[in-house]
Amino acid sequence: MDLDKQLEQAADLLQKADAQEWEVMALSSEQLSIAVSGREVDKFQQSASHGLAMRVISRGRLGFSYLMGSGAGGALETAVAEALASARASDLEDEAGLARPQPMPEAPETLDPAIKAEPLEAKRERALAMAAAARQADPRVQHVHPAEIGEYYSRVRLVTSHGVDLSLENTTCSAVANAVAGENGQQEMAWEYDVRRFLSDLDANRVGAEAGRRAAACLGAGPVADGRYDVILENQVAMEFLELLGASLLGDSLVKGRSLLAAKLDQKVFSYLITIVDDGLLPRGLGSGPFDDEGTPASAKTLVQGGVVRGFVFDRLWGARHGAASTGNAIRAGLKSPPQVGFSNLYLKPGQGDLPHLAADLHRGLVINEVLGAHTADPVSGQFSLGAAGFLIENGKITRPVKSIAVAGQIVDLFASVQAVGGDLRFLGRSGSPSLVVAGMSVSGPGHE
């Protein structure tokens, strides 16, 4: 069945049902991935899916259900009934209701027709060329697995009982390469990744070459002595710490009493060099669009300015629970779960200088270009102890590779101790950061993790 027709049938059923308000989101998507192992393509996958997600408010109670596929054989009617039953089983909710029509900002670019128009053979050649670039980066690169390109297209349409009717098309393309280098019986592995809205912005050969270079650069790595070091967190690692801090800037964490910044509004908490923005209208951002996943207009929000906490992000539900309006920050992981509060494009504003420039000011320090298990850190306490790898800095120069160490600390203290911010802002997905210089991080070697 045509997805628009299916949505309209669902809307008709909900209109006749016992619901004060209702919302239907229809989503259709297509995915493709091609992976290379060694010198051969060993995976080619294409898939497509479509379905609906429904929310209803009945007698002040919020219900949710979803439907994957055509909805034939009474499945659509069943899904509507399940949404109403879900509402009856829910607690009374003093919330803001579902979206009403509002003026929308100018839509940022989200669709690249070139991705779908590119011939399959060209996609295959791009994956093979990425693997070749990894091998050619250094003669010590022994194997590449995988070198994989991916593409994603989606169309979403959102309709509510209040007259909202919005639609949007999105594309993304990605490249990931994992390389293994070896020398004198030692092997090291490294990966590189990039994902973009537009094919012209994605350099798969650079991804492959960087994976190979990183793997070879790790050969001969060993630990360093325990102690406190001035540390450069390379941009992709700084981004992981930013995401850990970001949990405390979410409205649900604030309302639940799980935010480290709950009583810090308009207070200076971090280094004056730290400014954090969430921008739903960022040009070609992966989380960009004119509206969020509830139909609220997107916008740019400064959450931390010069180290001072300026605000939090909300969807409609958690905003209402806090007595605030939605900031346009409802996101959906997919059709099978209701919207939740999240970031559109969260990033730390860059400063100046590349990695060698930042290192030049350090007498003895570390570059950390990999941490393990950042997702396991406790966002409520902010404490972390993570396996790490990188390079030693001696007299302002990046010297030997380092591994088998751990870095430990507390996330608010980390961002309070930032001494310099690089100019190398990098996004991976919806989050981005430049490299950061952090004073006095605790570093331990084997047996102290």
Same domain, 335 and 406: no
What is the pLDDT at residue 322? Answer: 94
Q: What distance in Å separates the CA atoms of residue 371 and residue 429, rounded to the nearest whole number? A: 18
- CATH number for the domain spanning 54: value is 3.30.2290.10
Residue 449 lies in a domain: no
The pLDDT score that the predictor gives to residue 375 is 82
Segments in the chain below pLDDT 50: 448-449
Tell whether 48 and 82 lie within a shared domain. yes
Residue 248 lies in a domain: no
The confidence score (pLDDT) of residue 3 equals 86
Helix (H) / strand (E) element for 285: namely none
Residue 57 covered by a domain: yes
Pairwise CA distance, residues 88 & 274, whole Å:
46
Q: Are residues 204 and 233 in the same domain?
A: no
DSSP one-letter code for 349: P
| pLDDT score at 449 | 42
Residue 407's φ and ψ, nearest 5 degrees, are -110, 140
What pLDDT does residue 448 have? 47
Same domain, 13 and 76: yes
pLDDT at 87 (0 to 100)? 92
Q: What is the pTM of this model?
A: 0.95
Examine the domain organization and report whether 383 and 235 are in the same domain: yes
Phi-psi region of 360 (alpha: psi -120 to 50; beta: other; left: phi over 0): alpha
Question: Scanning the structure block, which residue is given the tokens 């993570």?
Answer: 386
- The verdict on residue 249 lying in a domain is no
Q: Are residues 56 and 201 in the same domain?
A: yes
Host H or E run for residue 355: helix 355-359
pLDDT of 94 reads 67
pLDDT per residue as tens digits for the range 355-406: 999 999 999 999 999 999 888 888 899 999 999 999 999 999 999 999 999 9
Domain residue limits at 316 = 255-281+288-344
Residue 422: how many other CB atoms lie within 10 Å: 24
Task: Provide DSSP, 208-274.
Answer: HHHHHHHHHHTTT-B---SEEEEEEE-HHHHHHHHHHHHGGGBHHHHHTT--TTTT-TTSB-S-TT-
The answer to whether position 120 is within a domain reads: yes
Residues facing 32 on adjacent strands: 46, 151
The domain boundary, picked from 300, 329, 344, lies at: 344
Q: Which of 305, 320, 344 is the last residue of a domain?
A: 344
User: Looking at the structure, do residues 233 and 202 belong to the same domain, yes or no?
Assistant: no
The verdict on residue 76 lying in a domain is yes
- The reply to whether 92 falls in a domain is yes
Rounded Cα distance, 81 and 83, in Å: 5
Same domain as 207, residue 134:
yes
Q: What are phi and psi of 309, to 5 degrees?
A: -70, 120
Kindly state whether residue 247 falls inside one of the protein's structural domains: no
Instruction: Tell me if residue 294 falls in helix, strand or coil.
Output: coil
Chain position carrying tokens 């639940």: 256
Q: Are residues 331 and 384 in the same domain?
A: no
- Check whether residue 266 and residue 205 sit in a common domain: no
pLDDT score at 93:
77
Measured CA to CA, the distance from residue 209 to residue 175 in angstroms comes to 12
Answer yes or no: do 268 and 203 share one domain. no
Domain count, the chain: 3
Which residues lie closer than 8 Å to 380 by C-beta, 6 or more apart? Answer: 258, 260
Q: Are residues 326 and 364 in the same domain?
A: no
